[in-house]
């Protein structure tokens, strides 16, 4: 399914120019428990709704940015720099 994604650097482009980097998660602190690190590396929320995601403009400026995307409707609400 194709849709337009707004790169904060280049503007709106076809989503096929981009690489999906997965949902954005918060890195545990260095003294966190092993369970926290396992959860960070392997568990995802898999939200049915709006989530913050990493995207890379692979065939454009090659910069990484965040997008707020509704995973149900595929609507992009906002894109912004980390």
4-43 footprint of Zn ion as x/- string (CB under 5 A): ---x-xx---------------------------------
Torsion from C-alpha of 26, 29, 33, 36, nearest 10 degrees = 0
Centre a 10 Å sphere on the Cβ of residue 59 and count the other Cβ atoms it contains: 12
Q: Which of 18, 57, 65, 67 binds Zn ion (CB under 5 A)?
A: 57
Part of the chain binding Zn ion (CB under 5 A), chosen from 24-32, 37-45, 57-65, 67-75: 57-65
Centre a 10 Å sphere on the Cβ of residue 76 and count the other Cβ atoms it contains: 19
Whose Cβ is closer to Zn ion: residue 24's or residue 61's? 61
């Amino acid at each position: 399914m194709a849709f337009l994604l707004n790169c904060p650097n280049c503007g709106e482009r076809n989503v096929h120019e981009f690489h999906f980097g997965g949902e954005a998660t918060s890195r545990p602190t260095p003294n966190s428990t092993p369970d926290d690190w396992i959860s960070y590396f392997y568990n995802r929320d898999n939200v049915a709704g709006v989530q913050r995601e990493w995207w890379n403009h692979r065939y454009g400026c090659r910069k990484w940015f965040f997008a707020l995307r509704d995973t149900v409707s595929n609507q992009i609400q906002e894109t912004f720099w980390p």
